[in-house]
Structure 1
Amino acid sequence: MAGRIPDFPELLAALVGTPSISCADPAIDMGNRAAAECLGGWLEDLGFDCRCLPVGPRDDKVNLIATLGDAEAGDGLALAGHLDTVPYDDNGWDSDPFTLTRRDSRYYGLGTTDMKGFLALAADVARDYRATDLTRPLVILASADEECGMDGARALRDAGHRPARHAVIGEPTGLVPIRRHKGILMEAIRVTGHAGHSSNPAFGVNAIDGMRQVLNAVCRFRDELATRAPAPGFPVDHATLNTGVIHGGDSPNRIPARCELQVDLRFPPGFDIAPLRDELRAVAHEALAESDCGIEFEELFTGTPAMETAADAEIVRAAEQLTGRTAAAVDFGTEGSFYNALGMDTVILGPGDIDQAHQPNEFLGMDRIDPMRDILHGLIGRFCLRP
């Protein structure tokens, strides 16, 4: 079927040209509704039934669920991705981030690889199918706020509605299927002391000195965690803990009353978020057992579970056959664990490269488009056309 929608470059240009940044900073944060309605409008022209479901209290943040064929038939395939992007550096781009620019056999623009390019390609491929062709539904699922907490995927999980039995998330994997990835949590540890004049340490309780003890304990925990459960197959084959931010005090001649450490902890399948967070807090708390300092904790990021889809799952085997690559593991997180929790066997597979994500001059190589198109046709044939 020749759908009455633009071709792929125009689709991608329209999505890139519709800003949808998500960010913890309210001054930068945007909704994704305009981008979702843009994508949904094309899909409706192809016969999809489209629903925009609000995520949280804001009306401009939505999940788009677009279904072609009989949703009641069950099973089927979801082509999934997020419509939001990260912020961008004002001085890092050689072209306007919101204008799709073609040069050097690449498409440049914010979100081209992470991951508006995949969603535009899914819509482009979908033009070749009618609802009457399908024995099982084809779903295009576009979520909100993946970059800033995965709120869209959490909302779908919490609603308990499974739009399809199998899912492909088009995150940038260089056309390599991924069936396992690490989970992540982020935590702030705040040590509190008592301010005083620096001329006499007895005038106060030094929070930076207290944090030194906490930091040493956290680093020992990091080293022990790395040896506790080897994770063969991952690029970094163990859990990691990054001490990413530390700040405290305000003047060299004052005893500092506060010091804060922020950490990022990534873990392979087999670990759960809550016990790891509890253990991290216990380690930090114990480090100050003999100190006059206090300690406080804050969840900076609730966390994303690790993902593992069975090696013999039908979607894994199909992705391996169509790409000629064995399903692998990555250290970054995706929405896959939330979709697996809904009962969708999920593979991460997209045309972009992860080293282009979150970078100035983000691009999608044109040589990846036709191979990804062929993979999508193969998956649709396998999961939506065959009885």
Structure 2
Amino acid sequence: MGTGETVEILDRLVAFDTVSARPNLGIIDYIQAFLEERGFDVHRLAAPDGDKAGIFASLGPPGRGILLSGHTDVVPVEGQQWSRDPFRLTRENGRLYGLGTTDMKGYLAAMLSLADRAAGADLQEPLKLAFSYDEEVGCVGIQQMIDQLAGTIGLPRACLVGEPTEMQVAIGHKGKAALNAVFHGEAGHSALAPKFTNALHLAGEFMGALRALQNALAEGGARDSAYDIPYSTVHVGKLSGGTALNIVPDRAEMTFEFRHLAADAPNDLFARIKAAAAEVAGRHRGARIELTVANAYPGLNVAPDNAVVALAGKLAASDRTTKVAFGTEAGVFAGLGIPTVVCGPGSMAGQGHKADEYLAEAQLAECDAMMSRVLDVLRGEDPR
């Protein structure tokens, strides 16, 4: 099985509507049947609400082996102007168009193509595969699945997460925390506005404190020149509050995030944010600010001399390493002590999360070649 067969599998995967807001059970049924027909030991892991599932699977003798991992969900297409059916693979001029081709069903197709080839091979160590859900909404699924990895297929000696890196070996990305702030003030008639604590004004002051924190991180915080933005960042995404112009609002709500370098501990950043909230609230009568963490995932920071970097370089036939701006599930695997890198076909900046998303056939061919080298290693041979 090679790139032609991988394209056929990709055609099937793209046809499944796996937007994060909807169930993914159809694609999981397909993957489970595909792997079981080829002799894999398949563990289907249901999400807490039951409408989604992930898979851990293994083929070969007992041992640590190599784990390949990818997510099944895709971003929504609402608001995007597609010129093609996003749920139908379209092949044009060396490109494979379709929702999720780059992020990241192309890699999933290459994983399944490898699974087919591995089924007839004399493996000296196991091939392990992970298929998750709800990655696009904050790496939720893999964090719900990860505690079952050791007890199902066992911890591998290396993990490759196939997010799009143009087949370069990515050894780092920032971690992220998504937060919610609720501001409580006092309602009153706007003609007497100075007599009341305006919740939106509280939010404005708190936003100013977040901007000050961002400036401090940019000017004196940790730095890593491997990133386009070489420092940790703070970003406000939504702010709402109030019911009418002539009523002083007694409630407002804000959603915001921080993305942090490995050198900036997320607990420390959260402590600084809590202190800023307490200071703002303390300046006003009857004011209260509630902070909650809606979601968080860890960053990834692999030393360049780590053995997994050399292994991934051989597998990808690349001596280049990089760090990526977007988050991945790699930090979750690394949190278990699994040596993990990110390497997959396509460009997130060029094609990810955009209308008419596509994957270049040349990139998919490079990924298939990497998968063949993975198979060589698992057979006890030098990767070719």
Q: Is the TM-score greater than 0.5? A: yes
Contact 1:269 1:306 in 2 (8 A): yes
What does 1:145-164 align with in structure 2 at a 5 Å threshold? 145-159=134-148, 161=150, 162-164=154-156
1:299 aligns with 2:299: no
1:12 aligns with 2:13: no
- Corresponding residue to 2:328 among 331, 334, 342: 334
- Corresponding residue to 2:68 among 75, 79, 100: 79
* TM-score using structure 1 length: 0.90
Shift of 1:381: 2.0
After superposition, the Cα gap between the structure-2 partners of 1:343 and 1:131, relative to the gap in structure 1 and judged at 3 Å, is farther
What does 1:71-220 align with in structure 2 at a 5 Å threshold? 72=62, 74-89=63-78, 92-130=81-119, 133-159=122-148, 161=150, 162-220=154-212
CA deviation profile, 1:307-353 (whole Å, cap 9, x unmatched): 12232232211222443232211221111111112232111001011
What does 1:28-43 align with in structure 2 at a 5 Å threshold? 29-43=21-35
Aligned letter for 2:102? T
Aligned letter for 1:65? F
CA deviation profile, 1:172-231 (whole Å, cap 9, x unmatched): 111111111100011122222111111122442212222222121111111112222112
What does 1:211-360 align with in structure 2 at a 5 Å threshold? 211-226=203-218, 227-292=220-285, 293-301=287-295, 303-321=296-314, 322-355=316-349, 356-360=351-355
- Give identity over the alignment, percent: 30
Contact 1:221 1:283 in 2 (8 A): no
Aligned residue number for residue 364 of structure 2: 369
Distance 2:378 2:280 in 1: 54
* TM-score using structure 2 length: 0.91
CA deviation profile, 1:225-278 (whole Å, cap 9, x unmatched): 222211231221110111222222222222122222221200011333333223
Task: Point out 4+ residue stretches in structure 1 off by more than 3 angstroms.
Answer: none
Higher mean alpha-carbon deviation, 205-214 vs 179-188, is at: 205-214
Contact 1:66 1:139 in 2 (8 A): yes
After superposition, the Cα gap between the structure-2 partners of 1:385 and 1:36, relative to the gap in structure 1 and judged at 3 Å, is farther
Q: Secondary structure at the match of 1:86?
A: coil
Contact 1:8 1:124 in 2 (8 A): yes
Aligned residue number for residue 380 of structure 2: 385
After superposition, the Cα gap between the structure-2 partners of 1:313 and 1:379, relative to the gap in structure 1 and judged at 3 Å, is farther
Distance 1:259 1:132 in 2: 60
Q: Secondary structure at the match of 1:174?
A: coil
Q: CA RMSD in A?
A: 2.2
CA deviation profile, 1:109-132 (whole Å, cap 9, x unmatched): 111111111010121133333465
CA deviation profile, 1:79-137 (whole Å, cap 9, x unmatched): 11011112212652111111111123211111111111101012113333346511100
Contact 1:77 1:164 in 2 (8 A): yes
Contact 1:20 1:30 in 2 (8 A): yes
* Residue ranges of structure 1 left out of the alignment (5+ in a row): 23-28
Distance 2:253 2:333 in 1: 34
Contact 2:114 2:372 in 1 (8 A): yes
Q: Secondary structure at the match of 1:266?
A: strand
Distance 1:148 1:240 in 2: 19
